[in-house]
Amino acid sequence: MRALWIIAFALSTVASSAGATDAPLRVLFLGNSLTYTNDLPLVVEALSASSVRHIRATTIAGPNYGLEDLWREAKVQEAIRSRRFDVVVMQQGPSALSSSRSELVKWSKTFGAAIREHGAEPALYMVWPSLERMGDRQRVSESYRIAAKECGCRLLPAGDAWQAAAKAKASISLYGVDGFHPSREGTYLAALVIWAELTGEDPATAPAELALRDGSKVKIGPNVKPVLVDAAKKAMR
């Protein structure tokens, strides 16, 4: 059995009163290593420190997990039924192939119905292909857009932001050493899109230096941040 990577701070907290202006947006992230590499959910949370609405992130993810794998995990079902979340962000692999696109659509719809039934909003975190399969970028985008439309989920187009950054031809490596998982800059860009889409904040207002809840730090260079902000804005249009 594959081990789940879980950061479940919010699972043990008492739900905040509905309508409280100081209540954080409670977000559950479900995915695989494209979610937990570089602590993406905690980067999203740290970006919100300067927002009107703060985000409190919880993560349940497993290596190489697809949405079907996540659906079959008792911890995931428990979290969805808990009604402790405002938004549930789902993530699968690139899903460029017809078969994986079908799976993405099928399980997004299944998750979406259950998430709404238990009082939260479903959202899809669009990822990107590996460096070896850069020609799949458009199909990855199409797969996530189709799935979001079919399930009525909010789309978080991080993959499109990666495309926009690549077209800018800046000397910024969004990929890590394996050519698939994100570098710190790649994670920051994905988090920037997710944070801005969930809170309505302008990506340009995001801090370049972040202190994560686990004690780690993220710092984006002054020449890098404008490129990432521009890419995020283009993806969100």
| Residue boundaries of the structural domains of the chain | 24-236
**Facing residues of 218 across strands?**
210
CA angle 145, 100, 36 (to 5 degrees): 75
24-236 CATH fold? Rossmann fold (3.40.50)
- The C-alpha atoms of residue 17 and residue 134 are separated, in whole angstroms, by 45
So what's the pLDDT on residue 48?
A: 97
pLDDT tens over the chain, length 237 residues: 456 766 654 443 333 334 434 799 999 999 999 999 999 999 999 999 989 999 999 999 999 999 999 999 999 999 999 999 999 999 999 999 999 999 999 999 999 999 999 999 999 999 999 999 989 999 999 999 999 999 999 999 999 999 999 998 778 999 999 999 999 999 999 999 999 999 999 999 999 999 999 999 999 999 999 999 999 999 998
So what's the pLDDT on residue 2?
A: 58
So what's the pLDDT on residue 169?
A: 77
Cβ partners under 8 Å of residue 63, min gap 6: 2, 3, 5, 32, 33
Which ranges of 18-97 would DSSP assign to H, the alpha helix? 33-36, 40-47, 67-71, 74-81
Check: CB of residue 120 under 8 Å from CB of residue 90. no
- The C-alpha atoms of residue 188 and residue 126 are separated, in whole angstroms, by 14
So what's the pLDDT on residue 66?
A: 96
